[in-house]
Amino acid sequence: MELKLSENALKVLERRYLKKDEQGKVIETPEGLFHRVAHAIAIADKAYGKVEYEVKTLEDAFYRIITALEFLPNSPCLMNAGKELGQLSACFVLPIDDSMESIFESLKATAMIHKSGGGTGFSFSRLRPKSAVVKTTGGVASGPVSFMKVYDAATEAVKQGGTRRGANMGILRVDHPDILEFIRCKESDKHITNFNISVAITEDFMKKLQKGEDYDLIDPRSHKATGRLNTKDVFELIVKQAHKNGEPGIVFIDRMNEFNPTPKLGNYESTNPCGEQVLLPYESCDLGSINLAAFSKNTGGKPDIDWDRLKTVTHLAVHFLDNLIDVNKFPLPEIEKATKQTRKIGLGVMGWASLLILLGIPYNSDEAVALAEKVMSFILDEATKKSLELGRHKGVFPAFKGSIYDKKDNTTRMRNATLTTIAPTGTISIIAGPCSSGIEPLFAISYYRNVMDNDKLVEVDPLFEKIAKERGFYSRKLMEKIAETASLRDIEGIPEDVKRVFVTSHDISPEWHVRMQAAFQKYVNNATSKTINFPNEATIEDVRKSYILAYELGCKGITIYRDKSREEQVLNVGTPGSHKAEQKASEPKKEIVPRPRPEVIIGTTTKVSTGCGNLYITINVDENGKPFELFTQMGKAGGCAASQLEAIGRLVSLGFRSGIEVKAIIEQLRNIRCPSPSWEKGQRIFSCADAIARVVEKRLVNIQPQEVGVEAAGQIPMKHSHEDEGKEIGDSGSRGDIVGVCPDCGGALRHEEGCVKCHACGYSKC
């Protein structure tokens, strides 16, 4: 079969998946990669008595469905199958017990997992609360959030071999005494950046919430009540924080345990980083996704789904994922033991929005929701049949006795404790393209991509471009116009039936997002990764209603994102400044005008040792004590370094004089890293920018104005007043769910499936 890959798919494969030599040169073709993966997974059947030609037949079948882009396994499998590392799982959950030994044993395991390309989930609910007495030392405990920060710092230090970034899920039960601190712990987008966080909500909490009653906070060591909070107050705080920046999410932990197939092994406490794979301590799970867009067919002029082919691919995918467990090289023996005890797999889907477009069905319709149930129930049913077949030939999973499948009639002798999961499909959906991510709607119809020399290239959804050309309304000018907006709704020249089908995430109300998630969840053993998108103007009440609806419709968790709610959201789908047209005509335009410089101004100079030498930082305040300007001078700097410091000083001064909040300036500069970090009075100074942030915080935030004094001796010459610098603050606007700049290619990062992803190069961070 001829392998047809898009330009984007080839770029992603070359950057992240294809084998490279010691000099970083690609030495593998895409066909070679898929042969490597198919062979490495099929060979597992040898251990179950299959002869050479049977294994080769299975390998060929695996290769066909992968090269046809009908099914793709998770990224660690594509990267590592048939190679020395051999770690093929994406999801891990590690236990954290209330002892230093357990906390740091799991931290070490986390580093090993991240190094091998996996993501980790933790429940911090067993840890004693902040300020609890530590009997062995006589001191007090620092609490779950402090240890989350330790794990976050360790994750930052591990680069996963340059292929996948570390990602974590931190979960705390709603009845833990430190729950309020936990809910607020990511109030700033700059804190605990390598974690997604979710509150584990209990059934008791939800029942009391309906009546607005108080509930008990339970000490995890004594299991006794230590206080009470009002359910409504806590829930409103969760909703408020999620409205602010998308976190925390919610997992309905008792509902997850209701579907625990092996309750005798223990209760679920946590999930993987994106919340879709709930696991017992030390379990891992291998994931794969069927590309639904590849199964549309035309029957008598009417679009339909190729159900026979979908059945065949589902059976092969289950066989593939089960074999993967046997050939996997696990990071720890405890993980291998726990994983093989239950043999959980997570078969999911991608290309759902693409399939709906091919069938002419709007995403936000009852027809789409009904079809979602039909498709996922079909996949689960066929996956179950295949797992039963494998159970008969290869044996049931070892923890079968006492599981929900352990029945006397022997008709449910399953090979795998779980079968289905809807996972994020960031890079593999690019490889399978044109293919939408997971079960998400399209993020945009047309958008700009920056290429070399600052040229702009218009990218158009392939299905839309095909229909536009077939129906005669395609033009480059129209595509550019679409790229400048968030929707087709107000674009003239596009037929209404096309607008109805080509809806984007922000055309769709949050209710439809939740209903779609719930429809798939009905037939998913584990959970479903889905972002519930909100427009920027959505209210806290809108978010609250969606959380309640998710509970009422049977979802196992929910993650929301309100457009433009994160500070990093600096790019746009349209042209720079295009968001200005969104302003209401009646809304007065607000201008930011820097304050004029007084004749006399006073300040302080602080000396900081950096990796580049001694840096002198002068902060001046006006007659009212408000910060006004910042100057820097490096003892040995010159050339580019001096000019960069001068630029930072001018921009910070402009921020001071324009009334920008000091904390916002600090957060933009803090933890920026350079190749030459240093230590200053027990603190790590990552760069000159980081040093400036720390001095600004020390001088303007952490002490009273009258306490400010000159720390370094000598006078620092003030070369510039910045009086005339930066009188206009430009803005590039923002649109859609873009949340930042890709660190690999400079493209747009978008918030999808609980992750930030770059559609240009395949970078993702969950």
**How many residues does the structure list for the chain?**
766
Q: Is 614 a catalytic residue?
A: no
- Label each residue of 4-65 as H, E or C: CCCHHHHHHHHHHHCCECCCCCECCCHHHHHHHHHHHHHHHHHHHCCCHHHHHHHHHHHHHH
C-alpha span between 456 and 571 (Å, rounded): 14
Catalytic residue chosen out of the listed positions 59, 247, 276, 484 = 276
Instruction: Return all residues near 518 (Cβ < 8 A) that are at least 6 apart.
Output: 550, 553, 554, 555
C-alpha span between 593 and 604 (Å, rounded): 25
Q: Is 276 a catalytic residue?
A: yes
CA-based Rg of the chain, rounded to a whole angstrom? 28
Q: Is 272 a catalytic residue?
A: yes
Buried b (16+ CB within 10 A) or exposed e, 690-702: bbbbbbbbbbbee
- Label each residue of 386-403 as H, E or C: HHHHHHHHHCCCHHHCCC
- 621 phi and psi angles, rounded to 5 deg: -120, 155
Residue 321 in contact with residue 383, Cβ under 8 Å? no
Assign residue 707 a region (left: φ > 0; alpha: ψ between -120 and 50; beta: otherwise).
Answer: alpha
C-alpha span between 686 and 672 (Å, rounded): 6
Which two three-digit tokens encode residue 577?
A: 């400044």
Amino acid at 693: A
Beta bridge partners of 456: 450
123 closest CA partner among 50, 162, 179, 82:
179
Catalytic residue chosen out of the listed positions 272, 291, 328, 416 = 272
Which two three-digit tokens encode residue 350?
A: 């991608």
Helix%, strand%, coil% for the chain, nearest 5: 40, 20, 40
Number of continuous H segments (helices) and E segments (strands) in the chain: 23, 27
Instruction: Return all residues near 14 (Cβ < 8 A) that are at least 6 apart.
Output: 26
Helices 510-521 and 366-394 sit at what angle, rounded to 10 degrees?
30
Distance (Å) of CA 580 to CA 44, 537, 585: 59, 15, 10
Residue 445 in contact with residue 504, Cβ under 8 Å? yes
Catalytic residue chosen out of the listed positions 77, 91, 185, 274 = 274
Q: What is the DSSP annotation of 335-372?
A: HHHHHHHH--EEEEEE-HHHHHHHHT--SSSHHHHHHH
> Any idea which residues carry the catalytic annotation?
272, 274, 276
